[in-house]
Amino acid sequence: MPSLPGIERGNVFSIESVMARVVRPGKHVLLLDEGGGWRGCGTAWKLAEDGHQVTILTPDPLVGKELQRTAADFPLRRTLRQLGVTWLLDVSVLEWHGDGVTIVDHNTREESFVPGDCLVLATTNVAANWLAKELEKTPRPFIEVGDAVAPRQAPYAFHEGRKVALRL
């Protein structure tokens, strides 16, 4: 969906604004983690350390799926549990109500309400192509790489940048 229904009700924050302390989340934080990496899990960890009650909501079958087969895999989930973080797997958020979310379980298609003071979004990023848009107005040639092309992990940017550099 292009926009989350109910987002206009407020108390919906990006992880960047939470981690930069631009916003102050409530006591019970619902964190929608669609990436399965450090962005969502690290934010949940920090919020829990700061005394927030955190519930991770993810469409994935496990928390931190992008960290599988790394040294962080099991210790991450163990630490989150020790900090009191809970999670709901295989779910998507359908609507923010201002005091919680309606979720749908991917396996049963059942909908339910999960209460929370705020919703923190660790969702898919968009391409950071603002510089390319500016450069298009000039006669200067350029080649886009990395997150300017599409949001993804650093190794892709390294690979693309190296390919471009080798052609120079």
Instruction: Report pLDDT digits (tens) over 19-52.
Output: 999 999 999 999 999 988 899 999 999 999 999 9
How many independent structural domains does the chain possess?
2
Domain shared by 86 and 106, yes or no:
yes
pTM of the model: 0.77
Domain shared by 135 and 62, yes or no:
no
Residue 1 falls within a domain, yes or no? no
Domain shared by 153 and 101, yes or no:
no
Print the domain residue range for 142: 130-167
What is the token pair recorded at 6? 């109910």
Q: Kindly tell me the burial class for residue 63, based on how many C-beta atoms sit within 10 Å of its own C-beta (0-12, 13-18, 19 or more).
A: buried
* pLDDT higher than 90, residue 73: no
- The CA-atom distances, in angstroms, between 6 and each of 21, 73, 93, 96, 100 are 23, 33, 11, 5, 10
Distance, in Å, from the CA atom of 19 to the CA atom of 15, rounded to the nearest integer, reads 6
Domain shared by 68 and 150, yes or no:
no
Report phi then psi at 164, rounded to 5.
-65, -45
